[in-house]
Amino acid sequence: MKSFRFLMFLAFAAPLVAQPVSNTPREGAIVDTVSVTGTGRVRLQPDRFSFTVGVQTQAPTVEEAVNENNARVAAVAAALKKAGALPEEIQTSGFSIYPQQDYSQGHLPRLLGYQVSNNITVTKKQIGEAGKLLQAAIAAGVNTSSGLSFSVSDPERGRDHGLHAAFDDARAKANLLAAAAGRTLGQALAISEGSQPYAPPRPMRGAGQAMAMKAEVSEVPVESGTDELTFTVSVVFALR
């Protein structure tokens, strides 16, 4: 009886031992990859400018300083509109009142008066009008300026070219890394766009301060140059 049972066990076990082992990788097997980030840069002609000008006034009392400042700022705004700036392109960007004090006599300061500052920022898309508007503002009485900058209003203009360049850069980096590891590059498994393209405002050199002059003011020469937009993509490539 025991011998019969042993033979039955061998009969059922034999087919299991005889089955061939498959060399096909299991579904969901881990694939070797390399992850890289590529950068693409595009140079575009700016189509928007912005500058800030202001009026500073001083008087013995707050009321006198504010009233004088209000009159001069109103004249500047009117001159800007006459020169072609639309109301929505002109914005008050700063207003301050500071006491003017003399600390030279003893420990207690002596009040000399008050200084009032009011700034106006002009933002417009027509680059060619920048010089004319600056000329109008200076002639109307501004005595401070915080600079002139240029930018690209619609970064989508260079998006397609920038993303293509970013992907090409990523693939070149991945090829280099794969070769260094003794491997070859496979297909792209995942692609994601990086941060939004950024082009910092480009200040105009020498536009730190513009003093109002009684003599006739000529048009300010302006050169906008070009802006560089940067695009990035992150790519995961398979390794062979």
Domain boundaries, the chain: 47-151+204-219
Contacts of 149 (CB under 8 A, 6+ apart): 49, 50, 51, 201, 202, 203, 204
Per residue in 172-211, pLDDT (tens digit) is 999 999 999 999 999 999 999 975 454 554 444 333 333 3
Q: Is 28 exposed, middle or buried (0-12, 13-18, 19+ CB in 10 A)?
A: exposed
Alpha helices in 58-153 (DSSP H): 62-82, 130-140
Instruction: Tell me if 118 sits within 8 A of 137, measured CB to CB.
Output: no
CATH class of 47-151+204-219: alpha beta
Residue 222: pLDDT band by 50, 70, 90 thresholds? low
Question: 3-state class of 106 per DSSP?
Answer: coil
More confident residue, 209 or 62: 62
- Give the span between the Cα atoms of 30 and 28, in whole angstroms: 6
Quick one: which H or E segment has residue 109?
none
DSSP string of 156-192?
Answer: GGGHHHHHHHHHHHHHHHHHHHHHHTT--EEEEEEEE
Among the residue ranges 122-131, 192-201, 207-216, the one predicted with the least confidence is: 207-216
CA distances from 67 to 37, 71, 118, 145 (A): 57, 6, 12, 21
More confident residue, 107 or 112: 112
The pair phi, psi for residue 187, each rounded to 5°, is -80, 160
Question: 3-state class of 16 per DSSP?
Answer: helix
- Residue 44 forms beta bridges with which residues? 227
Average pLDDT over residues 51-63: 95
